[in-house]
A and B are shown apart, each in its own frame.
Chain A
Amino acid sequence: MQLSREDLLEAYRRMRLIREFEDRVHEEFSAGNIPGFVHLYAGEEASAVGVCLHLDDRDRIASTHRGHGHCIAKGCDPRAMMLEIFGKREGLCGGKGGSMHIADLEKGMMGANGIVGGGPPLVCGAALAAKTLGTGGVAVAFVGDGGSNQGTTLESYNLAKVWNLPAIFVIEDNGYAETTASSWSVGGSQTGRAAGFGMPGVEVDGFDFFAVWEAAREAVERARAGDGPSLLHVRLSRYYGHFEGDACTYRAADEVERIKAEKDPLMLFRRRVREAGLLEDSDLDAIDREARERIARTVDDAKGAAYPTEADLLTDVYASY
């Protein structure tokens, strides 16, 4: 299977939307316009998009506290997301979830998750539902390197294996669980852990969209064929702090700047498709422009939108009570 021109445009469009979205959220948060915690995905775009390009609406993903990129990659509406992050009534979750709980079940996005390691068991369930109902769907858990050390994650590897579930665990290793280096906190290796549970596991360069896309293709095909779960260990980097406001004093002084200069995933993508003669700079420039304008509009809309009211406080606690 090859990426068509349309696929390439779409891949770049989604990565650029994520980058633009996160950069704007960063600005707006710094300006004091966004309440609460936000954890930004900028720098990790190739992972979400490289995986989600293989998925459709019958497939499900569960995300992490750093979930905006997964949402956009899985097809959530950036405008409704932005309104949600601003805490507005017309937000994707009515302003009740916020950045850490954005979900759109119709799009197969089972939620960002405020609990580290919360997603993998849910993904086992979504994979079980797909298997039981015979939808042909797969389920993907995005997990950080921090979440990879949670018992829930390791238990989920086991359950997915013994139930032979169409599940994929994508460990997004950005090098830091909050301030703690993954090189210190992870015993053994991610792929070694996969092997320990009898499931295929590969290490992937998360700056390289094409590497992620290729590894995910194999894992998704395996899951759809009924051959059980897989693990991808995606090495990548986050450009901002653990959360907005994190001064990142635990990182090397020039670390982020160096990565941006040497292997930014959007830059690498652009270079690769241009060199291969697959897309023109003008195609990509147009996408950049379009993304900038679109996200600017979502921010304007979010600022102008109404907050929920007292009437909304006690709705949606139960389906019926």
Chain B
Amino acid sequence: MPKKSFREAVNEALRQEMERDPTVILMGEDVAGGMGAPGEDDAWGGPLGVTKGLMPRFGRERVLDTPISESAFVGAAVGAAATGLRPVAELMFVDFMGVCFDQIFNQAAKFRYMFGGKATTPLVVRTMYGAGFRAASQHSQCLYNIFTHIPGLKVAIPSNAYEAKGLLIQAIRDDDPVMFFEHKAMYDEEAEVPDEPYTIPFGEANVAREGEDVTVVALGRMVNFANEAADRLEGEGISCTVVDLRTTSPLDRETVLETAEETGRVVVVDEAHPRCSMAADIAALIAQEAFDALRAPVRMVTAPHAPVPFSPALEDLYIPGPDRIVEAVREVHGYGRG
């Protein structure tokens, strides 16, 4: 099986879907790059080169560079989705949702319901999230929890290259608007990715690892950290189940609850701030639905309630990492054992 980076997996998913379906188009700031400029065409392929090569293959009509104008082009993607296209809009950093949120949460998310089921809005907004790039407070947030809160949106957060390709193809074929989160620190991470197109259904969490002592529920990049922590804990004789949520909307409640009940000890890992986060959401779900099975309080490992700092010295402290997961698992594992 060929190894591909997360970046290549996303690119391949887009290419294969554009080949399969002529109504799939891409738009965003510099998704090709160099529009109207005297130099190279396809100069960037997105700021991190994820869409590189797609414009030369499909032309400017299907890979549209936009002005820096998120309200207009994200809104245009919504309008195009409601009228016969399957647009994939790139919101360069999810932090920029502040200037196009209305188009996503008041328009795209609500059309179907407000219009009595008669609208279909097959939109994908691909966006970069996450800390670790020394990109400071306005280019490092997670924010998927905010979209997860909105009925009508689906939210996918792949944890590796394999997941990215299958979830993105599913997102493009899906008839609902999907927010697709790509962690900027993961683009070079490789995994085995089939050459053929495939889909990973939404709302089915992946039990990435099965253990007996503690259940670690994680999402996105945190799945890798949870696995790393679980490897280390194995040496201490603590075996962990690691659940990768894959999508936060729809949420695979069944797998979360089942794995929580199996161990009775749960750590939830979320790179976002703790308040009204996925971590809090999962903890509440377990507290409400699996209380009798719990043998320790659910622990949340999250970023602090503070903006993402710039200085490497601070940012490294900010990001929830394997050390903190290990610590939380130990604590939960030891709870009530005297």
Contact = CB atoms under 8 A, between A and B. Distances in A.
Contacts of A101: 110, 114-115
Contact of B112 (A91, A123, A132, A319): A319
A316 B116 contact: yes
B298 to A, nearest CB: 26
Contact of B76 (A104, A125, A318): A125
B107 A115 contact: yes
Interface string A94-130: 1111000101111000110111001011111110111
A126 B83 CA distance: 6
B119 A103 contact: yes
Interface of A: 60, 62, 91-97, 101, 103-106, 110-111, 113-115, 118, 120-126, 128-130, 132-133, 139, 151-152, 155-156, 158-159, 162-163, 315-321
B83 A60 contact: yes
Interface in B78-93: 78-85, 87
A320 B250 CA distance: 10
B72 A159 contact: yes
27 contacts: A92-B116, A93-B115, A96-B115, A101-B114, A101-B115, A105-B83, A111-B111, A114-B106, A118-B75, A118-B103, A118-B107, A122-B103, A125-B77, A125-B82, A128-B80, A129-B79, A129-B80, A129-B85, A132-B25, A132-B85, A152-B71, A152-B72, A152-B103, A159-B72, A316-B116, A318-B176, A319-B174
Contact of B69 (A91, A110, A158): A158
CB-based closest 10 A-B pairs: A121-B75, A125-B79, A94-B116, A122-B79, A316-B117, A125-B80, A319-B175, A93-B116, A155-B72, A125-B76
Nearest to A95: B116
B113 interface: yes
A315 B117 contact: yes
B67 interface: yes
Nearest to B87: A125
Chain B, interface size: which category? 35 or more
A156 B67 CA distance: 10
Nearest to A315: B117
A154 to B, nearest CB: 9
Contacts of B106: 114-115, 118
B202 to A, nearest CB: 8
Contacts of B7: none
B178 to A, nearest CB: 10
A91 B83 CA distance: 22
B152 A155 contact: no
A129 B61 CA distance: 11
Contacts of A92: 116
In the complex, which of the residues A125, A126, A139, A158 has the most CB atoms of chain B within 10 Å of its own CB atom?
A125
A318 B112 contact: yes
Nearest to B62: A132
A157 to B, nearest CB: 9
